[in-house]
Every structure is written in structure tokens, then in C-alpha cells.
Structure 1
Amino acid sequence: MSGYLKYNRSNQADINHILEIMSVVYPISNGLIREFEAHILSLSIKKDQILFNENEVCEYIYFIKKGALMGCTTHKKQQITTYISIENEFVSSISGLHGLAHSQEYVIAVEDTDLLAIHNQEINRLFLQYFELNYIFRVILEKYYKHAQQRAHIIRVGNAKERYQYFAQTNPGYLDRLPSELIASLLNVKPSTLLSVKKDFAAQEEQNKELDMWEEKLSIHMETHQSFRDKGIRLQSLAKEIGLSSHKLSIVLNSYLNKSFIDYINQYRINWIKESLRNPEIVQNFTLEALAYSAGFSSRSAFYNAFKKLVGMSPVEYTKNCCK
């Protein structure tokens, strides 16, 4: 192990923090708590400082208190990023886990990083004495290998956009925090490709925010003014009512809500009818056809067809089921 790393006794607050995280997986006995209090160390490393090298025995299991680390290998003098870990994650040599073999990768700090550490000799001893420690680390390893398998799969079969989307969903906050060249290496894409994909996704997010705003405005308008009850309503007239171009309204409905204009309007009409059917007085005094015409349907057949399409049963069947 690199001799320039300075290990110190850890303070109680840091020990309590790691114990709290582990106890979420499984309750920790008082005996194991005392062992951790006696053997957990702390150290800090600077950005770009190596935690352990290739072909070196990794003597510790580390817990990241603050900062970020990346695991790397070299191939034909090229650095290949194999994983990235940040706060509240455990890190050690994958190929030389528990200090039983030389590491085939090296780990380097992406940021100034504060770590907690326990020596492999101690952790291996505790594995023999405490069931809960075996269980906790089994769960941790299962989680790690599931993520590793998913990452390997998406990198092998996914295109650049799919890789980026996977990384963004599984590692929220990493994209704005970590260097682009590091993420590009992890996803096995060129930095220029990553930049292009990132710009495309940013533009899409901005468009989605705008569509969110217009969809909300459209919903409020429909609920407030009940425009769906107008038998002559058209996309152009509705767009004019809410101050939106017909083209933009089409995008909101077709691309964002994945609904045609007529299905969108009919859904409001049917919801209005279903709500009316919950009122016994309305059921006694109005026929289904009368409610349909009041809701905006222009014919009995249009009402029945739309109801069956959007509800999955005829209006008569629905009335029998809901109004017993």
C-alpha cells in the first residue's frame, strides 16, 4: 500500500455515520459497534491523488465520507474508467478484494476526498465472528454487481444516447459534478459525443418544461371553462382560447400526452358524465343520452363509441356497475 497515506483515528461522529448506514441493511450488535469504534481509521486525499495502485495489495476497505473516487485500468497506455463512487459508498480493490490478491486496477481521487477505512485483516476477522457483518456486505456486493452488470450491458448494446440516459438516471447529480472526460471514459464514448448528447438532452428537458407549463394551463382552462361541452369545439378554437398556436397545442396533445385531440376532449366529456352519474338526483332525472349531449357529444353513436374506447365497457354496463 502507498506509504504516503496518513491514517488517523476516526472520531465518533464519523463512526456513528457509517454504522447508521450499515444498520439500515441489518441491525448491528453492540459487540460489532465496539469493534468498529476500535478499528475504523480516517484519512484525506487530494484531487488526483492515488489511493492504491495497480499490482499493489489493497489493504483496506474504504468508505467515502465526502468526495469522489474512480477506479481505472490501463490498456495500451490508455486510461479506462471502470467505475465512479461518491459519498456513502464503499470502495476497495475489486480484483483484490479483502487483500487476497494484487489489484488489477488503481483508484484515484476525482475530488478532494475524506475517507474512513478498516484494515482487511480486521474485517476478515470480524466476518468470522459477526453474522450481521456478512449479511450487510453481501447486500452491498449484490447491489454493486447489479449496477456493474447493468452498466456493462448498456455499454455493450446501447447507443450513446441510451448510455447517457442510463447514467443520468442511475447517478443523479454526477453529470454536473464530475468532469465530462471522466464520464465519457466510463460510458466508452468520445468527449465530443458526450457533449453533443448532453446538449440534446438539455434542449429536450427545456422543451418538456415548456410543455409541462402549457399542459397545466390547458388542464386548468378545461376544468374552469368546460370547453369540452361545446359541440363545435376544434383544435384551432381551443388553441385560441388558451393563447397557444395550433401547432404547439398539437405537440402538447400528440407528443407529450400521447392523445389525439378528439380523445383528449372525449376523456373530459366522459369524466364529466361519470361524475354526474354519482349524483342520484341526476340519474333519476336524466337519461344517458341527455347527459351525453350536455357533455358535448353530438350523437348517441359517437358517445357510445368513445365511452367503450376510453372506459373499456359500454355506458349501460358502467351505469349498472357504478350506480347500484
Structure 2
Amino acid sequence: MRKKLSKNGNASSLKDQLIDIFSSYHPLSEELKTQLIQRLKIQQIKTGQYLAIQEQYCYHFYYLAEGILISTTNRNDKQLTTFILANGSFVTSISGMYGQKPSDESIFAVEDTLVIGLHAQDFHYFYQHHPEMNAIMRRIMERCFQEAHERSKMIRLGTAKEKYLYLLEHISEHINRIPFHHQASYLGIREETLKRIYKEIQLDNDESQTADLFERIDHHLQHTNIIYQPKITLKSFARTMDIPAHQISSIIKNKYKKSFNQLIYTLKIEHVKQKLANISDHKHLTLEGIGTEAGFKSRSVFFSEFKKQTGLSPGEYLKKLHQ
């Protein structure tokens, strides 16, 4: 279950954005927000480093802000990949949740990764003193179980190609950063089979078809209001366009040199910059209101993304623009 978080900005900004994500599940009291700010810990994990190790205890529940994590387990001298997670996911040792028993799996980073963690003791404290945290975690767990059931059904029943297309649909923006052998192990197919399927899909995307699809995608992005929807995702956009998500992701990367989410944020920021350039026509809107109109889900995400792209806060940009 994934919700995006910008990695840019200081620690307080990252924590504020995660609190916004929690708030999207259930309103948080100001007291709980303050305590979360105090107790959330930001951790950087270098490529190859471990977040959890098999047979050891894991005492934290994490939000994956940026990067890719892979979970493996060793059985009878054989390593199996049990899950692959990209930024926007919640993660912990499922078998050893809350540090109650040793973990059955190891979790490590395949690229430099940023996580935000909360200790099991803090969770238990919040459960007892802040009932809203129970509601939030219940909804997060419900979504995680639903997605795990969907994954299990596809991996057990689908053909090799259907399994790979499922993986492409869910993490297409990150697929090229995940080693083939981990993809194959996760899907339960041979690495040679996966490479053959990969080549078949590449051949399917011939140049003429790609050009036609790009024209459709670009027209829809430029001439509809879809980019201003707060909850737009690659998956929802693919359904709207009736184009497979992996094809949209590949075309956008080739044509725009950006991921889908990066492109959407860029278009939103360009819209905001146009509003700020003609601010006299929008005096009824605050800066936060302009961000909301552009489809940003929260003030913190809007301000963080704007500064990432321009080097200035919206207020600083507006002041410089009209000096």
C-alpha cells in the first residue's frame, strides 16, 4: 500500500508529510501530532545495508520515503525473495512484528534508501493513549492485507507473463532498478524465462505504436484537468487512458526523461507558477489555496515540491517575481 512522500527538505518537513499521510486515514489530535514529531526517527540506509536481519529482532515499523527494499528468507540453503517495496510503502518484519519474536526474513536496500521509523513501544503507547492511532493502523493493515492477497493470487495462479505484467503495473517506475534475479525469485519463475518475457514486451512496443500512444498521453495531460486531481496515480491514469501502466511509464521516461509522478508534479508546479505570475487575477486565493487548486494534497507536500523544483518557497518565488 503506497502513498508518496517527497524526500526533500529537513527532518521536520519529512515528518510533517508522513503525519499528513496518517491524517488521510483518520484525523489526528494536535497532541498526537506533537508526540509523533518527537518520536519519529529518520534513517538513511546505504545500498546493500540491512533494515532487518533474519533470526534477529525488529522493533520498528517503517515508512519507505525513498528507495527500494527487498525482503528475502533462507530455507534449506536457498534464498527466496518474499517482497519488493518501492517508495511510498509501509514496511516491517511481518513475522516478527513489534519485536515479539525473531524475524523470518531479512530486509535490505538495493539502492540508497530513506525510511522513517517508529518504535514498537511508541506504537503501544499511542494505542493506549490516542485511540485514533488504532483506527489509522487498522486501515493501513487492511490495505496491506488486501494487496498481499492480490499479489498471492496472481503469483500462484497467473502465467509467467501475467506475473511480470502484474509487477510492471505496480512498480513500473522502479522496475529497471531491481535486479533480475530478485524479480524472478519474487514471481516464482526462472530468471531466463523472465528475461525472455522482458524482450517480448520490449518488441511489442514498436516505434509507430509508441508515437501514437505518446500523442494520446500528452494531449490528455495538457488539455484535461486530470493533473489537478489530488489522488492521481499511474494506475488510475492507465485505467483512464486504457493503456497498460508499464507502457505509459516507459513512454513518459523516454519522452519526458521523468517518472510519471515527477512529470505530474512538474506540470502542477508549472500551473502554480503561471498563477503566481498573474497573481492580481487570483487575489481571492492564498498561496496554500493555489497549491490546493493545482491538486496538491497538503500544504507541506506543495511547499516541499515547489522548493525542490525552483529552489524557493512559493512566497519567496512570488516576491522575487514581482520585485
Superposition TM-score, scaled by structure 2 size: 0.60
Gaps of 5+ in 2: 1-9, 217-323
Instruction: Report what 1:107 is aligned to.
Output: 107
SS in 2 for 1:57: coil
Cα–Cα, structure 1 residues 53 and 151, in superposed 2: closer, same or farther, change >3 Å? same
Counterparts of 2:159 and 2:36 in 1: how far apart (Å)? 44
- Please name the residue that 1:54 is paired with: 54
Larger Rg, first or second structure (1 or 2): 1
TM-score, reference length from structure 1: 0.60
**Whole-angstrom distance in 2 between the partners of 1:208 and 1:99:** 54
Matched to 1:99, the amino acid is G
Q: Deviations over 1:300-322 (max 9, x none)?
A: xxxxxxxxxxxxxxxxxxxxxxx
Q: Distance in 2 between matches of 1:179 and 1:210?
A: 26
Q: What amino acid sits opposite 1:54 in the alignment? A: Q
Matches within 5 A, 1:145-224: 145-206=145-206, 209=209, 212=212
Output one character per residue of 1:215-238: Cα deviation in whole Å (capped at 9) or x when no partner: 99xxxxxxxxxxxxxxxxxxxxxx
Give the structure 1 partner of residue 30 of structure 2: 30
1: CA distance, partners of 2:203 / 2:27? 46
Mapped to 1, the partners of 2:151 and 2:89 lie a distance apart of 17
- Report the AA paired with residue 35 of structure 1: Q
- What stretches of structure 1 of length at least 5 have no aligned partner? 1-9, 217-324
- Greater RCO (Cα-Cα under 8 Å, separation 6 or more): 2
Q: How many aligned residue pairs are there? A: 206
Pairwise CA RMSD: 2.1
Aligned to 1:290: none
Range that drifts further, 81-90 or 169-178 = 169-178
Matched residue of 2:18: which SS? helix
**Range 119-128 or range 204-213, more displaced:** 204-213
Quick one: percent identity of the two aligned structures?
29
Moved over 4 A (4+): 210-213
Q: CA deviation at 1:186?
A: 0.9
Q: 1:208 to 1:151 in 2, by over 3 A?
A: farther
Write the distance in 2 (CA, Å) between the matches of 1:163 and 1:208: 27
CA 1:32–1:198: 2 relative to 1, 3 Å: same
SS at match of 1:81: strand
Counterpart residue identity of residue 136, structure 2: I
SS in 2 for 1:104: coil
Partner residue, 2:241: none
Query: Hey, what's the Cα distance between the residues in 2 that align with 1:146 and 1:134?
Result: 18
Report SS of the residue matched to 2:206: helix
Residue 103 of structure 2 aligns to a residue whose secondary structure is coil
Q: What code does the residue aligned with 1:209 have? A: Q
Paired with 2:50 and 2:67, the residues of 1 have a C-alpha distance of 14
Counterpart Cα distance in 2 of 1:210 and 1:35: 50
How far 1:207 sits from its partner (Å)?
A: 6.9
C-alpha displacement at 1:170, in angstroms? Answer: 2.1
1:98/1:124 contact within 8 Å kept: no
Q: C-alpha offsets along residues 48-105 of structure 1, whole Å, 9 cap, x if unaligned?
A: 1111111211011111121111111111212111111121211111011122222111
Residue identity opposite 1:139 in structure 2: R
Aligned to 2:116: 116
Written as runs of structure 1 = structure 2, the 5 A alignment for 1:230-245 is: none
Contact 1:73 1:104 in 2 (8 A): yes
Separation of aligned partners in 1, 2:126 and 2:210: 55
SS at match of 1:22: helix
